[in-house]
Amino acid sequence: MVRSGQNHKRKFLRTFFVIFSFIGVVGCDSSSNKPSTPTPPSTTMVPINTPKFNADSAFAFVKQQVDFGPRIPNTKAHVDCGNWMVEKLKEFADTVIVQSFQVRAFDGKVLNSRNIVGSFHPDLGNRILLCAHWDTRPFADQDTQRKNEPIDGANDGASGVGVLLEVARQLSIANPNVGIDIILFDVEDYGQPDESDFPTMEDSYCLGSQYWTKNLHRPNYMARYGILLDMVGSANIQFNKEGTSMQYASDIVDKVWKVAEATGFGAHFINQQRNGIIDDHYYINKTLGFKVIDLIHFEESAPSKFWKHWHTHEDTIDKIDKNSLYVTGQTLLEVLFREVPL
């Protein structure tokens, strides 16, 4: 693990990177949950016929995950939610591969885990990867009370998966020009807390993506690039240019930022680099060598610099903002449908 002064972080800041570098209306009535009108873009792009991301549908997908309860490996909620996601992807994707495996966590527990892969146009070699993690933190180590109890993980886990399931639904309706793989990684958030009595375990987070990089769902799998979603559902979403993404894939960051600006979402995609973090994209970049960026919300006022309710019991469904889901999902669709087959 690499820490940079703030020992309470789960995705430990890597400062040297910076140095070198169904379906239906569900949920809240607040005005913040009404999809906003995009601001006029300052960058022009040729208009294309992009599917319309449905924020209500994405919110329903988020809520369904939370309703299962904390999705912790070796629990019924984890099994039931995993089964539900497999069936949802089977509704939308051309093929679905379930990668079942066991890993040993920092506390010695053997965790029954599943990476779930939905593919569109699996025959095409020209591919783009979209990913998020679907498990939840088994303890609220950033809270001031009930620290040993699991969290709901509405934002940290369910929000990214909800967006990707709605993207998958849209892809099943409108035919994209390229092959797309959606991977829902397991056991991302079962990492060792800073205050732990167990011996230090290196690389204790992101166990599902680490397993996948060494056991690809298809032999010699390769993507042109990938986009990871993590904590994309909080109000007033802001994506900074995360340092690990900039180190490995600055051109992909620039591509996504330009599309977001042209789509009218420039206020949410901030042209400012932040310290790098260890997340699922780190292991893919490092191990496989193709470019993956991380769309993750930073919050300067929070002690962790992440979302203020990160790894606490306040990570609940009422904190999920439909407009943030819309901004994230519509940007992804714009990026995907602007791709030209090679």
Distance CA 308, CA 122 (A): 39
pLDDT for 26 equals 36
Exposed / middle / buried, residue 75 (Cβ in 10 Å: 0-12, 13-18, 19+): middle
Residues paired with 10 in a beta bridge: none
| pLDDT average, residue stretch 259-266 | 97
Share of the chain above pLDDT 90, in %: 80
pLDDT for 43 equals 58
| Segments forming the whole domain that contains residue 102 | 43-336
Tell me, yes or no, whether 33 lies in a domain: no
pLDDT at 37 over 80: no
| pLDDT average, residue stretch 230-238 | 96
Give the model's confidence band at 11: pLDDT under 50 very low, under 70 low, under 90 confident, else very high: very low
Q: Which residues contact 29 (CB under 8 A, 6 or more apart)?
A: none
Tell me, yes or no, whether 26 lies in a domain: no
Q: Which residues contact 138 (CB under 8 A, 6 or more apart)?
A: 70, 72, 150, 189, 190
pLDDT for 319 equals 98
Tell me, yes or no, whether 108 lies in a domain: yes
pLDDT at 34 over 90: no
Give the model's confidence band at 80: pLDDT under 50 very low, under 70 low, under 90 confident, else very high: very high
pLDDT for 302 equals 76
pLDDT at 256 over 60: yes
Q: Would you give the DSSP letter of residue 42? A: S
Under a CB-based contact definition with an 8 Å cutoff, are residues 125 and 159 in contact?
no
Tell me, yes or no, whether 9 lies in a domain: no
Under a CB-based contact definition with an 8 Å cutoff, are residues 235 and 321 in contact?
yes
Amino acid in the structure at residue 301: S
Higher pLDDT, 308 or 19: 308
For residue range 270-324, list pLDDT tens digits in order: 999 999 999 999 999 999 999 999 999 998 777 777 899 999 999 999 999 999 9
pLDDT at 144 over 80: yes
Instruction: Characterize the bridge pairing of strands 269-274 and 291-296.
Output: unpaired
Give the model's confidence band at 134: pLDDT under 50 very low, under 70 low, under 90 confident, else very high: very high
pLDDT for 38 equals 61
Give the model's confidence band at 53: pLDDT under 50 very low, under 70 low, under 90 confident, else very high: very high
| pLDDT average, residue stretch 232-244 | 97
Tell me, yes or no, whether 314 lies in a domain: yes
Give the model's confidence band at 19: pLDDT under 50 very low, under 70 low, under 90 confident, else very high: very low
Which of the residue ranges 23-37, 83-97, 162-176 would you say has the lowest mean pLDDT? 23-37
Which of the residue ranges 3-12, 126-135, 223-232 would you say has the lowest mean pLDDT? 3-12
pLDDT at 45 over 90: no
pLDDT for 314 equals 97
**H-only helix segments in the chain:** 15-20, 55-68, 76-92, 160-173, 207-214, 243-263, 280-288, 322-337
Which of the residue ranges 67-76, 104-113, 247-256, 293-302 would you say has the lowest mean pLDDT? 293-302
Query: Domain containing 252 — which CATH number?
Result: 3.40.630.10
Of the candidates 186, 190, 226, the one whose C-alpha atom is nearest the C-alpha of residue 332 is 226
Tell me, yes or no, whether 37 lies in a domain: no
Under a CB-based contact definition with an 8 Å cutoff, are residues 40 and 126 in contact?
no
How many residues would you count in the chain?
A: 342
Higher pLDDT, 24 or 126: 126
Residues paired with 112 in a beta bridge: 102
End-to-end CA distance of the chain: 38
pLDDT for 330 equals 98
Distance CA 117, CA 115 (A): 7
pLDDT at 28 over 90: no
pLDDT for 176 equals 87
Tell me, yes or no, whether 8 lies in a domain: no
Tell me, yes or no, whether 17 lies in a domain: no
Distance CA 322, CA 27 (A): 9
> What mean pLDDT value characterizes the chain?
89
pTM: 0.89
Q: How many structural domains are present in the chain?
A: 1
For residue range 192-224, list pLDDT tens digits in order: 998 899 999 999 999 999 999 999 999 999 999
Which of the residue ranges 34-38, 82-86, 111-115, 190-194 would you say has the lowest mean pLDDT? 34-38
Handedness of CA 247, 2, 185, 27 (dihedral sign): negative
